[in-house]
Homo-oligomer: A and B are copies of this chain.
Amino acid sequence: MKVTVSRKAHFNAAHRLYRKDWSHEKNEEIFGLCNNPNFHGHNYELIVSVTGEIDQETGYVIDMKILKDIIKFEVEDTFDHKNLNIEVPEFKELNPTAENIVVVIYNKLKPKLSSHLDLEVVLYETPRNFVKYSGE
Interface residues in chain A, defined as those with a beta carbon under 8 Å from any beta carbon in chain B: 1-10, 12-15, 17, 19, 30, 32-34, 36, 38-43, 45, 49, 54, 57-61, 63-65, 80-83, 86-87, 94-100, 102-103, 126-133, 136
Q: Is the CB of A131 within 8 A of B5?
A: yes
Q: Is the CB of A130 within 8 A of B83?
A: no
Q: Is the CB of B127 within 8 A of A60?
A: no
Taken together as a complex, chains A and B put the C-alpha atoms of A43 and B63 apart, in Å, by 20
Residue of B whose beta carbon sits closest to that of A36 = B81
Scoring A2, A14, A128, A129 by chain B CB atoms within 10 A of each residue's CB, the highest score goes to A14
Taken together as a complex, chains A and B put the C-alpha atoms of A30 and B59 apart, in Å, by 11
CB distance from A125 to the nearest CB of B (A): 8
Given A2-B136, A136-B2, are A42 and B102 neighbors across the interface (CB < 8 Å)? no
In the assembled complex, 11 residue pairs joining A and B whose CB atoms fall closer than 8 Å, in A order, are: A1-B133, A3-B131, A4-B133, A5-B131, A8-B128, A14-B39, A14-B83, A30-B63, A38-B86, A40-B83, A54-B99
Add 12 more A-B contacts to A19-B57, A36-B87 (CB < 8 A): A3-B99, A3-B102, A6-B132, A12-B41, A33-B80, A38-B39, A38-B83, A38-B87, A54-B99, A59-B95, A60-B97, A64-B129
